[in-house]
Amino acid sequence: MVKMAFRSSAKRDLARIARPLRRTILAACRDVFDDWAIGKPLRGPLSGYRMHRAGVYRILYAVRESASIEIVAIGHRKDIYERVTK
């Protein structure tokens, strides 16, 4: 059984997004839950994370073991990567 968890920072990110976009992003999170390999593996300082696109927003997540997915951050593509590397 696969488990999905949101970091507290990802929950805050999601709360800051407008409601119609939030639905789109949550649908993309369900896609990640259904097939965790759907996202692109990241390189460099973000290696170990994967990224899935939801319009201009990005969902960064990590696969822990093989039965646990952790949503790390959700944000606009212009600043999500810099926020996570800090």
Angstrom distances, CA of residue 54 to CA of 1, 51, 63, 66, 67: 25, 10, 18, 23, 23
CATH number of 3-85: 3.30.2310.20
Strand order in the sheet with 50-54: 3-6, 68-76, 57-64, 50-54, 40-41
Look at residue 1 in the predicted model and tell me its pLDDT.
61
For residue 11, pLDDT over 90 is answered with yes
Look at residue 85 in the predicted model and tell me its pLDDT.
86
What does the pLDDT average to over 3-9? 90
**What does residue 14 show for φ and ψ, rounded to 5 degrees?**
-65, -40
- pLDDT tens figures, 25-55: 999 999 998 888 899 999 999 999 999 999 9
